[in-house]
């Protein structure tokens, strides 16, 4: 139980990061198919990327963490979420989303496809 208290709040930070990505996606979708002002979506994306980087940094500094179990679980979750993100990306391209909007949505999908497996792997490894 004492070890749990020393772990960083990976899941909580991950959920905030995903909430920012979803908010940016909703913002972009609400403006399609017309011209989309990208500044708010880019700000949300940048904040989410900072949270992902902070989460990775905080987790990398945990001593005695069960990295073997983490990678055993996270690699398969990553594979699944890369496929999911690819299918969503295909839907964007198929529906003629282009330019800056597509770039922001693609980067948002990358954060989604990395952060969810990170949280899944962390959740399993913390109890190993």
Model pLDDT for residues 21-63, shown as the tens digit of each residue: 999 999 998 988 888 899 999 999 999 999 999 999 999 999 8
Question: What b/e string do you get for 40-56 counting C-beta neighbours within 10 Å, with b at 16 or more?
Answer: ebeebbebbbebbeebe
Q: Model-level pTM?
A: 0.90
Q: What is the pLDDT of residues 113-122, one digit of tens each?
A: 999 999 999 9
């Amino acid at each position: 139980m004492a070890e749990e208290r020393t772990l960083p709040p990976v899941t909580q930070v991950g959920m905030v990061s995903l909430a920012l990505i979803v908010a940016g996606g909703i913002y972009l979708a609400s403006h399609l198919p017309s011209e989309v002002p990208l500044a708010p979506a880019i700000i949300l994306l940048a904040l989410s990327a900072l949270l992902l980087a902070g989460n990775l940094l905080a987790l990398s500094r945990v001593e005695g963490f069960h990295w073997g179990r983490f990678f055993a679980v996270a690699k398969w979750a990553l594979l699944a979420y890369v496929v999911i993100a690819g299918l969503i990306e295909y839907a964007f391209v198929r529906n003629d989303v282009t330019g800056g909007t597509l770039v922001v949505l693609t980067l948002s999908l990358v954060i989604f496809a990395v952060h969810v497996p990170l949280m899944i792997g962390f959740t399993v490894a913390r109890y190993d």
